[in-house]
Amino acid sequence: MGRSKMTKSDIVDSVYEDSEIRECGMSRKEVAAVIVKFVEKLKESIENLDENERIELRGFGTFGIKKRKARIARNPKTGQEVKVPSRKSPFFKAGREMKQIIMKG
Protein backbone atom coordinates (compact mmCIF):
# COMPACT_ATOMS: atom_id res chain seq x y z
CA MET A 1 0.00 0.00 0.00
CA GLY A 2 2.44 2.62 -1.19
CA ARG A 3 -0.25 5.31 -1.29
CA SER A 4 -0.41 8.41 0.84
CA LYS A 5 -3.98 7.66 1.93
CA MET A 6 -6.41 4.78 2.01
CA THR A 7 -10.08 5.39 1.26
CA LYS A 8 -13.19 3.50 2.29
CA SER A 9 -13.32 2.12 -1.25
CA ASP A 10 -9.78 0.75 -0.84
CA ILE A 11 -10.82 -0.94 2.40
CA VAL A 12 -13.88 -2.47 0.69
CA ASP A 13 -11.63 -3.82 -2.08
CA SER A 14 -9.14 -5.21 0.44
CA VAL A 15 -11.85 -6.98 2.46
CA TYR A 16 -13.56 -8.26 -0.70
CA GLU A 17 -10.28 -9.76 -1.94
CA ASP A 18 -9.86 -11.77 1.29
CA SER A 19 -10.24 -15.52 0.75
CA GLU A 20 -12.54 -15.96 3.78
CA ILE A 21 -14.95 -13.38 2.39
CA ARG A 22 -14.84 -15.07 -1.02
CA GLU A 23 -15.71 -18.40 0.65
CA CYS A 24 -18.74 -16.76 2.31
CA GLY A 25 -19.95 -15.71 -1.12
CA MET A 26 -20.35 -12.04 -0.25
CA SER A 27 -20.48 -9.62 -3.16
CA ARG A 28 -18.47 -6.40 -3.28
CA LYS A 29 -21.74 -4.50 -2.77
CA GLU A 30 -22.54 -6.51 0.38
CA VAL A 31 -19.04 -5.96 1.76
CA ALA A 32 -19.38 -2.22 1.11
CA ALA A 33 -22.78 -2.15 2.86
CA VAL A 34 -21.36 -3.89 5.94
CA ILE A 35 -18.38 -1.52 6.15
CA VAL A 36 -20.55 1.59 5.67
CA LYS A 37 -22.99 0.36 8.32
CA PHE A 38 -20.12 -0.44 10.72
CA VAL A 39 -18.70 3.08 10.36
CA GLU A 40 -22.18 4.62 10.81
CA LYS A 41 -22.83 2.61 13.99
CA LEU A 42 -19.37 3.48 15.34
CA LYS A 43 -20.06 7.20 14.74
CA GLU A 44 -23.48 6.92 16.44
CA SER A 45 -21.95 5.13 19.40
CA ILE A 46 -19.21 7.74 19.79
CA GLU A 47 -21.81 10.55 19.56
CA ASN A 48 -23.77 9.02 22.42
CA LEU A 49 -20.82 8.44 24.75
CA ASP A 50 -20.56 10.11 28.12
CA GLU A 51 -17.19 11.38 29.35
CA ASN A 52 -16.29 8.22 31.27
CA GLU A 53 -17.51 5.75 28.64
CA ARG A 54 -15.39 4.17 25.93
CA ILE A 55 -15.74 1.91 22.91
CA GLU A 56 -13.07 -0.77 22.91
CA LEU A 57 -12.20 -2.86 19.87
CA ARG A 58 -9.78 -5.46 21.20
CA GLY A 59 -6.55 -5.63 19.24
CA PHE A 60 -7.31 -2.32 17.54
CA GLY A 61 -7.94 0.49 20.01
CA THR A 62 -10.30 2.55 22.13
CA PHE A 63 -12.54 5.46 21.17
CA GLY A 64 -13.78 7.95 23.72
CA ILE A 65 -14.66 11.52 24.63
CA LYS A 66 -12.51 13.89 26.69
CA LYS A 67 -13.78 17.08 28.25
CA ARG A 68 -11.44 20.00 27.59
CA LYS A 69 -11.47 22.71 30.25
CA ALA A 70 -12.14 26.35 29.42
CA ARG A 71 -8.91 28.32 29.11
CA ILE A 72 -7.34 31.57 28.06
CA ALA A 73 -5.37 31.41 24.79
CA ARG A 74 -3.56 34.04 22.75
CA ASN A 75 -4.05 35.12 19.18
CA PRO A 76 -0.56 34.47 17.75
CA LYS A 77 -0.85 37.37 15.32
CA THR A 78 -1.92 40.10 17.77
CA GLY A 79 -1.03 38.61 21.15
CA GLN A 80 -4.56 39.42 22.34
CA GLU A 81 -6.07 37.05 24.94
CA VAL A 82 -8.99 34.94 23.75
CA LYS A 83 -11.35 32.92 25.95
CA VAL A 84 -11.70 29.34 24.74
CA PRO A 85 -14.84 27.68 26.15
CA SER A 86 -14.89 24.13 27.52
CA ARG A 87 -15.74 21.49 24.94
CA LYS A 88 -15.88 17.78 24.32
CA SER A 89 -13.24 16.25 22.09
CA PRO A 90 -13.12 12.76 20.56
CA PHE A 91 -10.00 10.64 20.99
CA PHE A 92 -8.57 7.35 19.77
CA LYS A 93 -5.98 5.37 21.66
CA ALA A 94 -4.29 2.55 19.76
CA GLY A 95 -4.37 -0.86 21.43
CA ARG A 96 -1.28 -2.83 22.39
CA GLU A 97 -1.40 -5.08 19.31
CA MET A 98 -1.80 -2.05 17.01
CA LYS A 99 1.14 -0.32 18.67
CA GLN A 100 3.29 -3.43 18.23
CA ILE A 101 2.41 -3.61 14.53
CA ILE A 102 3.36 0.06 14.09
CA MET A 103 6.63 -0.33 16.05
CA LYS A 104 7.71 -3.21 13.73
CA GLY A 105 7.20 -1.09 10.60
Domains in the chain: boundaries: 8-104
What is the DSSP annotation of the chain?
--SS---HHHHHHHHHHSHHHHHHT--HHHHHHHHHHHHHHHHHHHHT--TT-EEEETTTEEEEEEEEPPEEEE-TTT--EEEE--EEEEEEEE-HHHHHHHHH-
Predicted confidence at residue 63, as pLDDT, reads 94
Percent of the chain with pLDDT over 70: 96
Report the distance separating Cα 4 and Cα 29, nearest Å.
Answer: 25
Report the distance separating Cα 48 and Cα 92, nearest Å.
Answer: 16
pTM of the model: 0.72
* pLDDT (mean) for 23-42: 94
CB 93 within 8 A of CB 61: yes
* pLDDT (mean) for 6-10: 92
Q: Which residue has better confidence, 62 or 3?
A: 62
CATH class of 8-104: few secondary structures
Predicted confidence at residue 36, as pLDDT, reads 95
Q: Which residue has better confidence, 1 or 47?
A: 47
Residue 102 has pLDDT above 60, yes or no: yes
CA 36 vs. chain centroid, Å, equals 13
Sign of CA dihedral 23, 26, 32, 36: negative
